[in-house]
Each structure stands twice: as C-alpha cells, then as structure tokens.
Structure 1
C-alpha cells in the first residue's frame, strides 16, 4: 500500500472532519487537484510552502484507497508527485499528526511509512 501525505492547516482540516471530505486548500482548488507528497518529498514541501507556519497537520493517506484518481505526475525537478483528482474522502486517511515547528524553525516530522 503506498502511503501519500498532505500538509494542511488544522483549521482547514477541522472543516473536513465535519463533512468527511477534504476538498483541498486554496492552491488545490486553483489547480483542480489536491497536491500530495510522498514520504521523501514531504519535508521539502514543508520547507518550501509552509515555512514558519504553525498549527499544521501531517495527514497520512492510503494511496490504494484513492484508486485511479491518484496520479503521479512530474513536478519539482522532474520528480513524480502524487496528485488527487477528486475530493479526499476521510475514510482513506490512515492517521493525522501535528507538525510542530522545532527550535530551528523547521517542522518536526513524525515517523512516516512510505
């Protein structure tokens, strides 16, 4: 089972918990797909797009549960990034954990299965 990850503000994720569906952050809505990362990509994604942001969650998602709506496409540096072309059903979520800032200002990641 491939595991993919979403970094999301806690307040935005709270809305998804109420409905059981995550429709995406503003960039996802603009691009018409939900931006996800692999375990190897998540730290760089946080460093590039979420620098200094507090109250974030790291959400682990069962890639198999997303079916053919999960597509790996070339992005940053030609690396293949997971993109979800559908709303994220929370039934596919394996876990969610806080993504706090460490003393150096970088986010502190939990252990992440690939």
Structure 2
C-alpha cells in the first residue's frame, strides 16, 4: 500500500461509471475536464467537506455523488500539492488521467 495518505475526488456516479468502462478517470472538477484544466483537483479527507460544499452545495442533479479514494502510489502520473494562491492551503493535483486501478474505494457522499 501507499506510504502517502489517500487522496479524494468528489464526482458524479455516472462520470465514474464511464471512467470504469474506459479504464481511466479524466474529469478535473465539476463541469471541467482534465484537458481543460491541466490537472485533476483532489483533496484530503479534512478538505473534502469544504470542497464538497463549494462545488456541489447547490447540486440537485439526477446522479448521486461519490467520493473516489485514490492511492497515490498507483497513479503513474505526477501528483503535486499546490495552493490556489501564494501562501494558501495546498491541495493535491493529479497531472494526468487517474487509472481505474488507482481508485481503491468509492464512497457515497451525503
């Protein structure tokens, strides 16, 4: 298993289901792809409630939301911890597609 803590990504179940069929997950954040953003936004367990409220606070879509639990050791692409602004809180950013095999669990989001 990974020596780094797992990182998390909140998404819609249908997007995860489609990624499982393709073998890799390529959505960066709500409504934006990896290709558009340049990386996939992730968070720590502690950051997730704030991120969820920010991105999906008003969500009333037809899909349930799920949390992808990602093992950094299984990514095979760069992972960088970066702050949105200098001196700000650092978030994990995945610079490439997340292989389905790197997702070690999928949790429901309430």
Q: Report the TM range for the smaller structure's normalisation.
A: 0.7 to 0.9
Distance 1:42 1:57 in 2: 12
1:60 aligns with 2:62: no
- Counterpart contact for 1:8–1:58, Cα < 8 Å: yes
Task: Judging by fraction of residues, say which structure has more helix.
Answer: 1
Deviates more, 1:11-20 or 1:62-71: 62-71
- Structure 2 gaps of 5+ residues are none
CA RMSD in angstroms, aligned pairs only: 1.8
Query: What stretches of structure 1 move > 4 A for 4+ residues in a row?
Result: none
1:19 aligns with 2:22: yes
- Counterpart contact for 2:77–2:97, Cα < 8 Å: no
What is residue 97 of structure 1 aligned with on the other side? 107
1:72 aligns with 2:54: no
Q: When the two structures are aligned, how many residues end up with a matched partner?
A: 100
The two structures have a TM-score, normalised by structure 2, of 0.81
